[in-house]
Structure 1
Amino acid sequence: MPVTIEDVRRVAAPLPRSYEVLVHDRVKFRVGSIVWLAFSRDEKDMGFAFPKEERLALVESEPDVFFLPRPSDLRFNWVEAWLDALDEERMRELVLDAWRMVVPKFVAASVLRDP
């Protein structure tokens, strides 16, 4: 079953240091001033923090799920995905990995139980 913005909120909202904002009619999640998760205005796609050096391989491996951000956002560690192409497990993995990129390691470890 495809995920919705509400499914993503249930994962992203309780994460330490994460908070939701509305910017130009778009829902975004931040840690401090860093946007690590954002939705299109129509809430059909989700952008999230992702390593630049791995982005192209991800998009090329699953172009029906992932796509590159607009050209002006290529300078950021960012990739996008169609929400209706994700299941709950995949979405949870992407959201947690994106959040982990922007919080201190000890904060991530407290939630994810990483060594």
Structure 2
Amino acid sequence: MTMTWDDVIALAERLPETEVSTSYRTPALKVAGKSFARLRTEAEGGLMLFCGLDEKAALLASGDPAYFTTPHYDGHGAILVHLDLVDPQQLRELLTDAWRSKAPARLST
């Protein structure tokens, strides 16, 4: 199943106080005004999700072609995801983790 931005929104809408917005003039998801996911431009490709550096390293080391990075994100806790390659359940987990990393404590407990 190929995931789309609309699928990402549908998954995120289950997370409290998630809003569809923009970041760097591209579609984004925010919680409490903080971005946790951003659809990169068509030329750039991929969905950016915030994650821990350890999780990023593990995803890249897995060899799964759904995950990638660029030099721009070196040293940053963000992973890039090919929506046409990612497993929907894995995307749901990564999206929830990204949301949790930005959500106020009152929401993520």
Alignment of 1:18-37 (within 5 A): 18-37=18-37
Question: Which residue does the alignment assign to 1:93?
Answer: 93
Query: Structure 1: 5+ residue runs without aligned partners?
Result: 110-115
User: Any idea what the Cα deviations from partners look like across 1:10-53, whole Å, max 9, x if unmatched?
Assistant: 01134223212124441111223421101112295111010023
Structure 1 runs (4+) greater than 3 angstroms displaced: 73-76
Structure-2 separation of matches of 1:24 and 1:103 = 20
Structure-2 separation of matches of 1:62 and 1:48 = 18
Structure showing the higher helix proportion among its residues:
1
Change (3 A) 1:95 1:31: same
Structure-2 separation of matches of 1:74 and 1:18 = 27
Alignment of 1:1-115 (within 5 A): 1-42=1-42, 44-71=45-72, 73-109=73-109
Query: Structure 2: 5+ residue runs without aligned partners?
Result: none
Give the aligned CA root-mean-square deviation in angstroms: 2.2
Q: Is 2:21–2:28's contact at 8 Å kept on the other side of the alignment?
A: yes
